[in-house]
Chains A and B, each alone.
Chain A
Amino acid sequence: EPEVTQTPSHQVTQMGQEVILRCVPISNHLYFYWYRQILGQKVEFLVSFYNNEISEKSEIFDDQFSVERPDGSNFTLKIRSTKLEDSAMYFCASSVGGGVNSPLHFGNGTRLTVT
């Protein structure tokens, strides 16, 4: 069964550095998402992406975050200048459509540790 893949599984970076988290969504999916889960807290929506542009974003997704689909297969989340509080598990997801009958398929996540 096709799946969403995320790399790396664990990323350690120093505060102030830029990081890029990578995701390969399922090939026929059109909608892409990033969520994050800070340790011990709830999963939080960051952003959704469709047709090469952001569909929605949360308050968390400020100017230090950006997303890109640089080619036909990858979907990336960039954090421009990382802060300690960016340490979290970041989940990428994709879906065929944007409605509730198109379930989100999640990757295994990238654990980002900012030191």
Chain B
Amino acid sequence: GNSVTQMEGPVTLSEEAFLTINCTYTATGYPSLFWYVQYPGEGLQLLLKATKADDKGSNKGFEATYRKETTSFHLEKGSVQVSDSAVYFCALTGNSNYQLIWGAGTKLIIKP
């Protein structure tokens, strides 16, 4: 079945640093890919998505490109802020659009 592997955390960066959180997947067919974010004490929020190969999802300065050739969907941001501190989850559709298959989550800590 479909699965997601994302880099282990925590990832600790200084403010204004460049961020990359790696995400790779295995899938049959053509899944859609997502990044969700969970801020402390809150629920899971959709950050961005891509539904087909070479699509780039972007939101709040974050970007991720659906790379079918490398089966990857790495999350990037050029200059992180303290307020970006959260847990980031990579996910993809499973056997259907109803299901999401999740990575383990990567905790991001940004220090001022």
A residues with CB within 8 A of B: 4, 31, 33, 35, 41-45, 48, 55-56, 58, 91, 93, 98-101, 103-109
In contact, B100 and A45 (Cβ under 8 angstroms): yes
A109 to chain B, nearest CB (A): 6
In contact, A106 and B44 (Cβ under 8 angstroms): yes
In contact, B94 and A45 (Cβ under 8 angstroms): yes
B110 to chain A, nearest CB (A): 22
Cα–Cα distance between A105 and B44 once the two chains are bound (Å): 8
In contact, A100 and B43 (Cβ under 8 angstroms): no
In contact, B46 and A91 (Cβ under 8 angstroms): no
Do A45 and B99 form a contact, CB below 8 Å, given A100-B32, A100-B93?
Answer: yes
Name the residue of chain A whose CB is nearest to the CB of B48.
A103
A69 to chain B, nearest CB (A): 16
In contact, A107 and B96 (Cβ under 8 angstroms): no
> Which size class do B's interface residues fall under?
20 to 34
Interface flag for B61 (CB, 8 Å): no
Q: Which 8 interchain pairs have the tightest Cβ spacing?
A: A48-B98, A43-B102, A106-B44, A106-B43, A100-B32, A108-B43, A103-B46, A45-B99
B15 to chain A, nearest CB (A): 27
A48: B residues at CB distance < 8 A: 98-99
Do A98 and B97 form a contact, CB below 8 Å, given A91-B43, A108-B41?
Answer: yes
Cα–Cα distance between A109 and B44 once the two chains are bound (Å): 9
B49: A residues at CB distance < 8 A: 100, 103
Cα–Cα distance between A44 and B41 once the two chains are bound (Å): 19
In this complex, the member of A43, A45, A48, A104 whose beta carbon has the largest number of chain B beta carbons within 10 angstroms is A43
B103: A residues at CB distance < 8 A: 42
Given A45-B98, A48-B98, 6 new contacts (CB under 8 A):
A42-B105, A43-B44, A43-B105, A45-B101, A91-B44, A104-B44
In contact, A56 and B46 (Cβ under 8 angstroms): no
Q: List 23 A-B contacts (CB under 8 A).
A: A4-B43, A35-B100, A41-B104, A42-B103, A42-B105, A43-B44, A43-B100, A43-B102, A44-B102, A45-B94, A45-B101, A56-B95, A56-B99, A91-B44, A93-B44, A99-B97, A103-B46, A104-B44, A106-B43, A106-B44, A108-B42, A108-B43, A109-B43
